Amino acid sequence: MGSVAILNRRFLSLGFFLLICFAAAMAGALAGYPHVVAWYDDLQKPDWTPAAAAFGSVWTILYGTMAVSAWLVWDREHGGAFPALRLFGYQLGLTLLWSILFFGVQSPDVAAAEIIVLWLVICATVFSFLRIRKLAGYLLVPSWVWVTYAAVLNLSIARNN
């Protein structure tokens, strides 16, 4: 295969991972958007809760780094990356599910239980990616940190409401 074809295949696979991650982001945003203003604003939240606008910015960056991370694993291993990428798929699905549970269903209690599972899956994905390509694992650390923060925030909201 020529170098141009290889380069094209690599960019197409990066586009695929970006598409998947941002499709999940959009689905999560759509699940929560109608309820953010009316319901979320009325919740009792701790003083250290970020402004609602910050969530969209942070998640946009995180979904981008998640996509690049998964692509780096795929680019290194291709078919051999399926076990690690399966974990990544679970992580992506659980991230979407959290948005649905917290905002769509308006259930901070159920979302709090789910985000603990999400945190564990991100942990497993980070270590799985680190074994394949260090940079890919490191790129997931900000997501892991943010979900740690979100879990504490979610638990606080669940307790106060």
Assign residue 81 the CATH number of its domain: 1.20.1260.100
Rounded-to-integer distance, Cα 118 and Cα 121, Å: 5
Top pLDDT among 136 and 40 is at 136
C-alpha distances in angstroms, 34 versus 2, 15, 41, 105? 49, 29, 12, 11
| This prediction's pTM | 0.90
Check pLDDT > 80 for residue 63.
yes
Rounded-to-integer distance, Cα 157 and Cα 118, Å: 18
Top pLDDT among 134 and 29 is at 134
Check pLDDT > 60 for residue 5.
no
**What average pLDDT does this structure show over 28-53?**
84
Check pLDDT > 90 for residue 41.
no
**What average pLDDT does this structure show over 81-109?**
94
Rounded-to-integer distance, Cα 125 and Cα 135, Å: 13
Domain count of the chain? 1
Check pLDDT > 70 for residue 86.
yes
Q: Average per-residue pLDDT in the chain?
A: 91
**What average pLDDT does this structure show over 1-28?**
83
Rounded-to-integer distance, Cα 24 and Cα 95, Å: 8
Check pLDDT > 70 for residue 38.
yes
Q: Which of 20-29, 70-79, 81-90, 142-151 has the lowest mean pLDDT?
A: 70-79
Longest pairwise C-alpha distance within the chain = 60
**Residue 2: predicted pLDDT:** 63
Going by pLDDT thresholds of 50, 70 and 90, the confidence category of residue 115 is very high
Domain limits for position 50: 3-160
